[in-house]
C-alpha cells in the first residue's frame, strides 16, 4: 500500500512537472520567436526599405530607366521635323567629252553673208562712179565664185574635245509645305511613345512592388509557421519525455507511449518542412533584392480592420490610375495616328526647294515642287482599312481588359472583407483556445484531466496561430492584388501604418 502511494505521489509530481513545462512553453513562445529572429538576421529591414532598395537597385529598374530615357530622346529628336532642311553639298568631278559638230549650216550662212556684202559694196561703187554694168556684173560673179571656193575649203564637220576638272560647292534648302498630315502624326507618335514608355516604367515598378510584397511577407509567414511548429515540437517532446517516465513507472502502456512518439515525430516532420520553406523564402527574397544576405524583417504580417476606400470609388477611378489601362488607351491613340499616316499616302505633297552655288559663278535656283503618286503597286486603300481594323482591335482589347480588371478588383475587395471577418473570428478563437489550454493544464495538474487533452489544446492553439498567419498573408496578397489592379500599389506601405490594424507577431 505504501508503495502504491509513493508511485501515485511520483505520478503527481510528473504531472505537475509536465504542467509547469507546458506553461513555461506557452508564456515563452513570444520570447522564443524573438530569439530565433535575432539569430537568423543581422540588421533591421522594414518593408518600405526593402521596396525602396529594390526600386533603386534592381536590373529591371535600370533597364526601364534606360528605355524610358531612350524614348524621351527619340521624341526630342523629331520635335523640329517640318522645318527647312539645309545641306552643304560639294561636287568634285572631272570630265572628257568628244563630239562631231556639223558645219554645213554655218558655211552656207557665211557664204550668203559674204556674197551679199560684196555685192552691196560693188553696187554702191557702181552708182557712185557711173560704171557700166558690163564691168560690175563680171566682177560680182568673180568675187562670188571666189567666196564660194574659199568657203568650200572649210570641212563639213568639226571634231570637238572638251576636258575639265570642277569642284562645285553649293548650299541646298528644302522645306515641306504640305505632307497630308505625315509631319504632325510623326511628332504625335514620338510623343505618345515617350509617354507610353513612362507608363511602362511605372508598370514595371508596380510589378516589382508586388514581387517584393509577395517575397517579404512570405518570409514573415514562413517564420510564423516555423515558430509555431517549433513551439509545438518542443511541447510534444516534453510530453513524450514524461510519457517515457510514466511508462517506466507502469502508469501508461507501451501503446500509449508510442502514440506520443508518433505525435512527436509528426511535429518534427512539420518543423523540418517549415524550416526548409523558410530557407527557400529567405533565398528568394535575398535573390530578388540582389543582396548577399537579408536582414531582420521588422514589418510583421498585418490585417487592417477597415477598408480605406469603398468599392464603387475603386471601380470608378481605376481607368485614370491603372498603368495597364492607360497604356492600352495610348495604344489606341497610336493606332489612330497610324490611320492618319496611311491616309496621308493618298494625298499630294508640296515642298519648296532652293540651291546656291558657292563658287565664283554664284548660280542659284529656287522653286516649289508638288508630287502626287499615281501608281506604286501598293493598294493604299487597303492599308487604310487595315490600320482602321487595328485601331478597332485595340479598342476591343482595352474594353476586355477593363472588364477583367473590374472582376479582379471586385473579387479582391470581397476577399479582403472575408479575411477581415475571419481575422476577428480567429482572434476570438485564439482567446478561447488560450483559456481552454489554461483549463486543461489546471485539470491535468489536479489529476482531473489527461495529457492528451492538454496536447490537443496546445495543438489547437498552434493551429490557430498558423491559421492567423495564413489569413494575414492572404489579406496582404489580396490587398496587393487589389492595389496593383487599381494602379495604386505604391500606396501599399501606407496600409501598414494605418490605425485599427492587427499585427501578427
Cα–Cα distance measured from residue 301 to residue 502, given in angstroms and rounded to the nearest whole number: 8
Cα–Cα distance measured from residue 464 to residue 456, given in angstroms and rounded to the nearest whole number: 12
The confidence score (pLDDT) of residue 288 equals 94
Nearest to 208 by CA among 3, 59, 389, 419: 59
Domain-embedded: residue 161: no
The confidence score (pLDDT) of residue 328 equals 96
Domain-embedded: residue 203: yes
DSSP-assigned letters across all residues of 92-105: EEEEEEEEEEE-HH
Domain-embedded: residue 162: no
Q: Which of 139, 154, 169 marks a domain boundary?
A: 154
Cα–Cα distance measured from residue 219 to residue 278, given in angstroms and rounded to the nearest whole number: 6
pLDDT tens string, the chain, 505 residues long: the values are: 333 333 344 444 444 544 444 444 444 443 444 444 444 445 789 999 999 999 999 888 888 889 989 998 998 998 888 899 999 999 888 878 888 878 788 778 887 888 888 777 777 777 777 777 777 777 777 778 887 788 777 888 888 888 878 888 999 999 999 999 999 999 999 999 999 999 999 999 999 999 999 999 999 999 999 999 998 898 889 878 888 888 888 877 888 788 888 889 999 999 999 999 999 999 999 999 998 888 799 999 999 998 888 999 999 999 999 999 999 999 999 999 999 999 999 999 999 999 999 888 888 999 999 999 988 889 999 999 999 999 999 999 999 999 999 999 999 999 999 999 999 999 999 999 999 988 987 887 777 877 678 778 888 888 998 999 999 999 999 999 999 999 999 999 999 988 889 999 8
Tell me, yes or no, whether 324 and 438 share the same domain: yes
DSSP-assigned letters across all residues of 72-85: HHHHHHTTTTTSPE
| Residue that has been written with the C-alpha cell 508503495 in this structure | 3
Say which residues have a Cβ less than 8 Å from residue 170's Cβ, sequence separation at least 6.
88, 89, 90, 91, 355, 356, 357, 358
As beta bridge partners, residue 176 has 351
Evaluated on CA atoms 184, 196, 327, 342, the torsion sign reads: positive
The confidence score (pLDDT) of residue 8 equals 41
Domain-embedded: residue 110: yes
Tell me, yes or no, whether 316 and 413 share the same domain: yes
Cα–Cα distance measured from residue 348 to residue 243, given in angstroms and rounded to the nearest whole number: 99
Tell me the residue range of the domain where 73 lies. Answer: 2-84+177-504
Strands 85-102 and 301-304: unpaired
Tell me, yes or no, whether 264 and 142 share the same domain: no
Tell me, yes or no, whether 223 and 109 share the same domain: no
Domain-embedded: residue 164: no
Q: Say if residues 232 and 459 touch (Cβ distance below 8 Å).
A: yes
Tell me, yes or no, whether 142 and 205 share the same domain: no
Domain-embedded: residue 259: yes
Tell me, yes or no, whether 134 and 200 share the same domain: no
Domain-embedded: residue 422: yes
Say which residues have a Cβ less than 8 Å from residue 227's Cβ, sequence separation at least 6.
29, 32, 33, 36
Tell me, yes or no, whether 49 and 182 share the same domain: yes
Say which residues have a Cβ less than 8 Å from residue 239's Cβ, sequence separation at least 6.
18, 22, 260, 263, 264, 451, 454, 455
Tell me, yes or no, whether 185 and 298 share the same domain: yes
Residue 341 buriedness (CB in 10 A; 0-12 / 13-18 / 19+): buried
C-alpha cell at 239: 510530453
Tell me, yes or no, whether 218 and 367 share the same domain: yes
Tell me, yes or no, whether 490 and 358 share the same domain: yes
C-alpha cell at 308: 480605406
From residue 181, how far is each of 155, 185, 337, 351 by CA, in Å? 63, 6, 10, 13
Tell me, yes or no, whether 72 and 110 share the same domain: no
| Total domains present in the chain | 2
Tell me, yes or no, whether 331 and 441 share the same domain: yes
The confidence score (pLDDT) of residue 28 equals 44
Q: Which helix (H) or strand (E) holds 160?
A: strand 157-178
Note the pTM of the prediction, 2 decimals: 0.75
Q: Which of 117, 139, 154 marks a domain boundary?
A: 154
Domain-embedded: residue 167: no
- CATH number of the CATH domain containing 396: 1.20.1600.10
Q: Say if residues 393 and 462 touch (Cβ distance below 8 Å).
A: no
As beta bridge partners, residue 97 has 162
Q: Say if residues 271 and 373 touch (Cβ distance below 8 Å).
A: no
The confidence score (pLDDT) of residue 385 equals 96
Amino acid at each position: 500500500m505504501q508503495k502504491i502511494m509513493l508511485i501515485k505521489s511520483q505520478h503527481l509530481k510528473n504531472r505537475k512537472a509536465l504542467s509547469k513545462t507546458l506553461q513555461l512553453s506557452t508564456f515563452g513562445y513570444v520570447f522564443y520567436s524573438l530569439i530565433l529572429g535575432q539569430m537568423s538576421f543581422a540588421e533591421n529591414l522594414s518593408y518600405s526599405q526593402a521596396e525602396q532598395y529594390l526600386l533603386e537597385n534592381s536590373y529591371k529598374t535600370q533597364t526601364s530607366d534606360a528605355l524610358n530615357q531612350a524614348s524621351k530622346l527619340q521624341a526630342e529628336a523629331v520635335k523640329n521635323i517640318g522645318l527647312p532642311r539645309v545641306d552643304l553639298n560639294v561636287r568634285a568631278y572631272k570630265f572628257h567629252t568628244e563630239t562631231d559638230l556639223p558645219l554645213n549650216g554655218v558655211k552656207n550662212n557665211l557664204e550668203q553673208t559674204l556674197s551679199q556684202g560684196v555685192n552691196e559694196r560693188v553696187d554702191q561703187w557702181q552708182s557712185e562712179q557711173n560704171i557700166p554694168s558690163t564691168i560690175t556684173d563680171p566682177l560680182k560673179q568673180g568675187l562670188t565664185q571666189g567666196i564660194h571656193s574659199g568657203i568650200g575649203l572649210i570641212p563639213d564637220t568639226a571634231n570637238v574635245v572638251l576636258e575639265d576638272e570642277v569642284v562645285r560647292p553649293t548650299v541646298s534648302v528644302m522645306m515641306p509645305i504640305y505632307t497630308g498630315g505625315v509631319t504632325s502624326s510623326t511628332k504625335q507618335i514620338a510623343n505618345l511613345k515617350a509617354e507610353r514608355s513612362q507608363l511602362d516604367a511605372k508598370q514595371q515598378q508596380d510589378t516589382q512592388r508586388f514581387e517584393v510584397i509577395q517575397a517579404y511577407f512570405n518570409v514573415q509567414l514562413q517564420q510564423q509557421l516555423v515558430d509555431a511548429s517549433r513551439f509545438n515540437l518542443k511541447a510534444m517532446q516534453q510530453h513524450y519525455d514524461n510519457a517515457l517516465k510514466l511508462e517506466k513507472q507502469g502508469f501508461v502502456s507501451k501503446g500509449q507511449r508510442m502514440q506520443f512518439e508518433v505525435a512527436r515525430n509528426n511535429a518534427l516532420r512539420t518543423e523540418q518542412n517549415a524550416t526548409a520553406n523558410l530557407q527557400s523564402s529567405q533565398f528568394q527574397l535575398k535573390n530578388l533584392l540582389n543582396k548577399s544576405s537579408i536582414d531582420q524583417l521588422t514589418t510583421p504580417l498585418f490585417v487592417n480592420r477597415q477598408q480605406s476606400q469603398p468599392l464603387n470609388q475603386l471601380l470608378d477611378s481605376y481607368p485614370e490610375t491603372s498603368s495597364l489601362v492607360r497604356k492600352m488607351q495610348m495604344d489606341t491613340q497610336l493606332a489612330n495616328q497610324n490611320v492618319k499616316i496611311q491616309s496621308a499616302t493618298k494625298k499630294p505633297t508640296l515642298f519648296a526647294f532652293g540651291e546656291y552655288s558657292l563658287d565664283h559663278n554664284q548660280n542659284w535656283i529656287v522653286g516649289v515642287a508638288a508630287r502626287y503618286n499615281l501608281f506604286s503597286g501598293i493598294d493604299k486603300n487597303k492599308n487604310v482599312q487595315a490600320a482602321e481594323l487595328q485601331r478597332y482591335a485595340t479598342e476591343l482589347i482595352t474594353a476586355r481588359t477593363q472588364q477583367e480588371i473590374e472582376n479582379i478588383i471586385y473579387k479582391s475587395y470581397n476577399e479582403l472583407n472575408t479575411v477581415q471577418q475571419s481575422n476577428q473570428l480567429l482572434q476570438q478563437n485564439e482567446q478561447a483556445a488560450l483559456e481552454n489550454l489554461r483549463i486543461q493544464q489546471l485539470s491535468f495538474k489536479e489529476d482531473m484531466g489527461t495529457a492528451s487533452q492538454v496536447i490537443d489544446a496546445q495543438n489547437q492553439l498552434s493551429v490557430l496561430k498558423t491559421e492567423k498567419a495564413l489569413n494575414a498573408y492572404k489579406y496582404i496578397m489580396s490587398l496587393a492584388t487589389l492595389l496593383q489592379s487599381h494602379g495604386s500599389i505604391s500606396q501599399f506601405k501606407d496600409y501598414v501604418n494605418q490605425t485599427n490594424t492587427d499585427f501578427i507577431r
